Chain A
């Protein structure tokens, strides 16, 4: 179980090698304001606390637990009481103690999101039901199978935030999910359902807020700056579990898909499950795998080993067979401007990428490199097959490093 499951500082281990842990026991705690707690997803013995392959590349300290198969719950796991009996502070505390992070992919700690500074009044909670990418269908299934839980979680989050309106944004190609939430909205004024155009990246937080409310989140700001908090529907379901059952975030639903697996399916897996086990569960490889992606085809990470564990923020595992992996040889830019037309942040990707390629960081910054949401649209449309996003990401990393250096 990696100590870096979320956006922010890594978690601090609370256990030692050799110690017995129970299912759901807190084994690491948040280290800083933006960080999250981590809980054992199996009962057993801690066998190792050491660097372990991380999906983002390289190695990050992880706690390795040997499953004793007993699934014996830790003490104190149980319902936290009715929503009416809980105060907003208590809800925030439950969410924090459960180690819940955004399950859409970015894995931003949820308790931070629902605790905005007092000078930023929040008017709306948006439940994001737009699948963040093609291939992934977990949000869709959750919305149909766990509608009530999502609504409950939404209510709890709304109470924590003190908002009077929860907007559920669902893409138009999911009529069943829309119908399910319309039923909820019909009996509860708190909810409002909006069907949205099917397009990528509709699930991107800032773009979603703009589509739903016409509010533009300022550069480098958060939706809270325009009075909105966005939560993924799966996160809302996790909040419901934390309150109703007392479960910390130890499992999640992921899509295992792609033509490189035998039986593509959505599976509920425990956080920390090695990717290879999840693939095995979906019938194993179909042919020789070429790429194994954690996340979707547009933003997912191509992992170098299937030893990496499923993270809290892992929405899917996609296996691309070797024969389907295309490797591109970029040719010179012909200045067609498609990347400019495609960019949902209204950037000039080619210009930023060119600056980045030449190491002209300040110029890349001036052209808005930091406003890139890394959706990959520019690179997708590029007829010259240039690695635009790759260069822009590099510029962003270097700019951030520079900023840290200069304090």
Chain B
């Protein structure tokens, strides 16, 4: 036997799962594909323009910020791509191109890179970008058009239940709204894929949507209308399930989802704005470190000795 063989030494375990961060990120992109296709189908050229703008700016901003920080560029981990696409799907179809650029730059630079990049941001970057635009340009951010014919219109939420849009319109997305939020069907399709891959935890959307349904019922609102309108589906399935900004414990994820549902309904029922998905998730993002601390699992062996049978 050859005595000169150099053996590789490392710590255990010597087996690793195949999954990687970039696989997760690109899966999210795949999962957003149905909603993206719907956006392009409903809003045509405007949608293509905004989506491409956001994605390109996201990648450029990420590269620029990482260069300034003097850290290796990690453009291909897919995380900037996800942020750009998500923000685009959260914008109204009529938004001017420069606003999309500004919002994306804020999302990547202020929302993510200043905290240290992927994994270190406390708030969902795409929502940071959207919240910034909403605060800075409230009029442009709430100007809506109908799908296909692009006629100015108000959203179903602003009209309230019993408006001109039925459940079918809402489910398929044939209503005014942000690019990717209108079709619950397309969003559910993508989310089912992520659930199947176990890339998102069902506890958050179930807690979030369930709470919205229960509070709607209690407040005498139509729960199905509340669930299907506005950015709730997009938020609950794709933003509130962002791994980085949500709790790492199962109990914490339940509280996260339920808490976001409560905040959303408070805003929708009593707030000055018709919609509150962005803020409900951002507020719960802020609570995430605390939730992690409060919901530490009971360590095996710390429950006291079980009684002998």
Contacts and interface: CB of A to CB of B under 8 A. Distances in A.
A372 B287 CA distance: 28
Interface in A215-257: 215-221, 225-227
A116 interface: no
A209 to B, nearest CB: 10
Contacts of A218: 301-302, 304-305
**Interface bin, chain B:** 35 or more
Interface in A171-229: 206-207, 210, 213-221, 225-227
Interface string B1-22: 1000101111111111101110
**Interface bin, chain A:** 35 or more
Nearest to B119: A332
Given A332-B120, A346-B299, A297 B7 contact: no
B16 A379 contact: yes
Contacts of A284: 1
A68 B118 CA distance: 63
Nearest to B118: A332
Contact of B14 (A291, A337, A344, A374): A291
A126 to B, nearest CB: 15
The dominant DSSP class at the B interface is loop
Contacts of B246: 335
B248 A293 contact: no
Interface in A312-342: 320, 322, 325-328, 331-337, 339-341
B11 A337 contact: no
Contacts of B15: 134, 297-298, 376, 380
Contacts of A162: none
A347 B298 CA distance: 8
Contacts of B304: 218
Interface stretch (A11-19, A34-42, A384-392): A384-392
Nearest to A285: B1
Given A328-B16, A348-B248, 14 more contacts: A210-B300, A298-B13, A299-B12, A303-B7, A306-B7, A331-B118, A334-B244, A337-B253, A340-B250, A347-B297, A351-B292, A383-B23, A383-B24, A384-B21
Interface of B: 1, 5, 7-17, 19-21, 23-24, 74, 77, 116-120, 201, 243-250, 253, 292, 296-306, 308-309
